[in-house]
A and B are shown apart, each in its own frame.
Chain A
Amino acid sequence: METGERQSAEASAALEQIADARAALAERLFSPWWYYPAAGVIVGGFVAQLALAGMWAVRVPVMLALLLAGGLWLPSANRKATGFSGSRPPGRRARLWRIALVLVAIALLQAGQAVRADWGWVGPVLLGIVAVPVVIVVMHRYAAAVRADLRRGA
């Protein structure tokens, strides 16, 4: 075998080893079952707390609790469960789903403010309940996209 061919074969083998490692990682990036409902409840809670407009003594502690739960507890619990933590999407598909997740959260909060003005406190509470399954679905899709990107070597 010529030198160039051998080097190319070696380089291909090394790239395959990298792909295998990423695939092995993808197989282990399964969050516990409660992770997605917990994320849904946190985002839903953010939407529902809009019902407390003007009641700052209650609203501020609720917002703080939700921020701590979403920003610290949930990622930490997920890291303990999977052994890995990551904030950067590994490929284009995962990046798109993360943007979708952010847009969904922004849209839910905007809609929450709109229904608060029209329907009173009931509007944000109902929207918060609706937000839970929406966030669960989008986060599941994001996690699946992360695994797919890792397997594909994106």
Chain B
Amino acid sequence: MKPQPRLDPIVHAPTRLQLCAILASVDEAEFAALRDALGVSDSVLSKQLKVLEDAGYVKLKKTTIDSRVRTRAWLTKAGRRAFSAHVAEFQRIVANATVVPGRSPIASAPTSTGDVGRAGARQTRAPADRPSGLQALRAR
């Protein structure tokens, strides 16, 4: 089933977006492999994984193999849904812009949850002032 397009502030940050893109393509990944694929430091990856874990989007499991601790990460169902919806919203924005060049694709966008939902709730303003999901995320 296609997800309802929806921007998610947790997924939106560039590193987390790429992290989710990789995790959505596999069942699970080891910390070192993720770090190398993303080209980030251990601390950056730890921090971003923690944000996703706190949001319930990622599960982490540490195992000791040959006296070395290995951390494995995988996306939860909620994480997969959030990432798919986020990507679907980007695709919708790009598709709308392609169909009607120059016209704000967000203006008639369905509302979404979280901060993006708050942006949607402000849609009683004049259309020209209407903030988009992307604008709301940028404002964070």
Chain A positions within 8 Å of B, measured between CB atoms, are 2-5, 7-8, 10-12, 14-15, 17-18, 20-22, 24-25, 27-28, 79-80, 82-88, 90, 150
Nearest residue (CB) in B for A8 is B97
- The distance in angstroms between the C-alpha atoms of A25 and B135, with both chains bound, is 30
Chain A interface: which of B47-55, B102-110, B113-121?
A: B102-110
Q: Are B104 and A25 in contact (CB under 8 A)?
A: no
B26-54 residues with Cβ-Cβ distance < 8 A to A are: 26-30, 32-34, 36-39
- The distance in angstroms between the C-alpha atoms of A83 and B26, with both chains bound, is 10
Chain B residue contacts of A8, Cβ below 8 A: 93-94, 96-98, 105
- The distance in angstroms between the C-alpha atoms of A87 and B26, with both chains bound, is 7
Chain A residue contacts of B87, Cβ below 8 A: 15, 18
- The distance in angstroms between the C-alpha atoms of A87 and B65, with both chains bound, is 23
- The distance in angstroms between the C-alpha atoms of A22 and B25, with both chains bound, is 8
- The distance in angstroms between the C-alpha atoms of A10 and B134, with both chains bound, is 8
Chain B residue contacts of A15, Cβ below 8 A: 87, 90-91, 94
Q: A5-B97, A15-B91 are in contact. Are A25 and B22 (CB under 8 A)?
A: yes
